[in-house]
Structures are given as structure tokens and as C-alpha cells.
Amino acid sequence: MATSNIKALIPSELRQVWDFVLDIENYAAWRSDLCKTEVISDKQFIEYTKDGYPTTFTVTLIEPYRRWEFDMENSNMKGHWIGIFTAKADETEIDFTECVEAKKLLMKPFVKSYLKKQQIQFVADIMKNYS
């Protein structure tokens, strides 16, 4: 299992950042890697890459304005994501950790670098909305 972590300071107050990141229905408007999202229920949603490749997410924990966790799975991988949000004066620290297991042997060597790339892009996409 590969684990990757990223931390960043977002120049906005905690509630705004939390509400923005958890507004799943609007991901396609600001996420550079997605074409759409589909909310199945308050516990499950699907993200579709620009190529239409789906990943299903199942929310496992919500501590409002503090912590968000979910399991994720597609035909290539399965894993767990933890997002921690912390107020730092008039900014918000985000601390995202992802643990993923490749389902296909050929993909195992590439999982960690792919995870890191995805995390960097996610944070960059968030930052674009606060600069």
C-alpha cells in the first residue's frame, strides 16, 4: 500500500475552505482533472476524469470543519483518504493523506508517484480559487 501526504496553507478562513472542498457537485467547475461528479447520496459520490474514467467515493467520517474521510475505489485501485482542516489565524491549513493499493501488479511501482501528482494538482486547483 502506498501512502502520500500533502500540507498547504490556504489564504482563507476555515469555513470557506471546508465548504469549498466539500461542495462535490461543483468539482468539475474548478478541478482540472475532472469532467463531472455524480452525487449518489450524502455518503457516496463518483468522480469522472476528463476521459470519463469513474472512481467511487464512500464517505466514512465527517467532523464538520475539522476532518473528512472516505474510501475510494475504481478498477485500478482502492484506498482511503483523510483530510484535516485547521484554522491558522485568517488562513486554513489542509493536511491530506491518501493510502492506496493498486489492484493490478503492473501498476504497483507507479502508485506512489501518481498519488503525489494527484495531490499536488488537487491543492493547486484549490489555491487557484484563493489567489
In order along its 131 residues, the chain shows pLDDT tens digits of 899 999 999 999 999 999 999 999 999 999 999 999 999 999 999 999 999 999 999 999 999 999 999 999 999 999 999 999 999 999 999 999 999 999 998 888 889 999 999 999 999 999 999 87
CA 118 to chain centre: 9
Q: Where are the domains positioned within the chain?
A: 2-128
Provide the whole-model pTM: 0.94
Four-way CATH pick for 2-128: 3.40.50.720, 3.40.190.10, 3.30.1490.20, 3.30.530.20: 3.30.530.20
pLDDT for position 130: 86
Alpha carbons 40 and 50: distance in angstroms, whole number: 20
In Å, how far are 39, 93, 118 from 42, measured between CA atoms? 7, 25, 24
For residue 90, the tally of other CB atoms under 10 A from its CB is 9
